[in-house]
Amino acid sequence: MNFELSEEQKAFQNLAYKFALKEFEPLAKECDREEKYPRELWQKACEAGLVGIAIPEEYGGPGGGWMETALITEQLSRIDMGLGLAVMAATFGSENILNYGTEEQKKKYLSLLPTGQAIFAGAYTEPNAGSDVAGTTTKAVKDGSDYVINGSKMFITNGTICDYMVALCVTNPDTPKKTGRHSLIIVDANTPGITRTKIKGKMGIRASDTAEINFEDVRVPQENLVGKEGNGFHQLMHFFDMTRIMVASQGLGLAQGALDLALKYVQERKTFGFPLAANQAIQFQLAEMAMRIELARNIIYKAAWKADNGQLDPSLNAMAKYYAGETAVWVTDKALQMHGGYGYIDEYDIQRFYRDAKILEIYEGAKEIEKITIAKRLF
């Protein structure tokens, strides 16, 4: 078993970290305070080759895999998870086109993403259908050569700034099984009948755009169907099985960044005439933080390697996402505690890391859903 990264992977890792140091740090506080999406930063990331890393070369992408995605996400999130999400999630939803779309769809849409010509969104979650994906009620009814979409979506990443979205809709309401009623449909975000409202006041990842979307008699060509009609639920479950690797990597990077901040602070801060780092209790805490981070890193890298080698493991990916999210929440809590009162004020970045961490136990499958995914595969 070889744990060594390739030279190309190390180059991606190094590129992402240097990019984040240079471009994230000057913007992080401002984008967090103002809940501002960093469009210029996204363009720079496209120019640097950091967007759409897994898009194959024949569609204009770098042709990387899940390992490269994990490495880049980790390093960006190490500096700021909200800005990292703005970069990495610019392609969110397009993975369904790569997996199930027609050749025409792949050529039309995927090539727009690495070059900064378009941003995608995945319009899945609804006000009353989060973890219960099969409970989605947005309808797409056939009319001539179109679908007519009516319904609403909630907590949609990139909702107000995307150019296209892949929406989960009910197309086969009379199918006996709920999981056979839905389809994925590509929607131009500027189509008449779409209302997009930015959600403000989030606890964390405030640089990332999140929105409520309403569809009122929105007409979309039937040729925008992704994959097979009625297969949307299963396609989306496969999508989540894969993208949990990226979310797990966010948690890993955030936790590592929090440890970086803690290490710096405890060496600079003096109490009772000595640096905090001289206190054995602090050293033990730092050691446990480092241990949990390394355990998360190993399970994530294993999950990414298996995905890239045709051995996608939904259970392992759920474990990685669950553990990395829990680790991020735990590590940021300990890191903030080491900062004392300074960790509680806006001037110090650790409070932003602390706020950002909690979403990792909620989105892309709440931690309870990860346990269900794991448990189902134990028998």
First to last CA, the chain: 28
Pick the CATH number of 7-111 from 1.10.540.10, 3.50.50.60, 1.10.10.60, 3.40.1280.10: 1.10.540.10
Position 285 scores a pLDDT of 98
Report domain extents, the chain.
7-111, 120-229, 234-376
Positions annotated as catalytic residues are 364
Query: pLDDT for 226-235, tens place per residue?
Result: 999 999 999 9
Residue count (the chain): 379
What's the mean per-residue pLDDT of the chain? 97
User: Span 88-105, mean pLDDT?
Assistant: 97
Q: What's the angle, vertex CA 187, arms to CA 183 and CA 189, rounded to 5?
A: 145
**Architecture of the domain spanning 120-229:** Beta Barrel (2.40)
Token pair in block for residue 229: 């009609």
* Residue closest to 50 by CA, chosen among 78, 79, 75: 75
pLDDT band at 189 (very low <50, low <70, confident <90, very high): very high
User: Span 58-77, mean pLDDT?
Assistant: 97
129 neighbors 153 (Cβ within 8 angstroms): no
User: Span 363-372, mean pLDDT?
Assistant: 93
Nearby residues of 21 by Cβ (< 8 Å), 6 or more positions away: 79
Position 2 scores a pLDDT of 86
* CATH fold label, 234-376: Butyryl-CoA Dehydrogenase, subunit A; domain 3 (1.20.140)
| pLDDT for residue 1 is more than 80 | no
| pTM of structure | 0.96
User: How far lies 146's CA from each of 143, 197, 224, 364, in Å?
Assistant: 5, 25, 9, 30
Query: pLDDT for 234-292, tens place per residue?
Result: 999 999 999 999 999 999 999 999 999 999 999 999 999 999 999 999 999 999 999 99
313 burial level (CB within 10 Å; 0-12, 13-18, 19+): middle
Backbone φ/ψ region at 270: left (φ over 0), alpha (ψ -120 to 50), beta:
beta
What are phi and psi for residue 61, nearest 5 degrees?
-100, 175
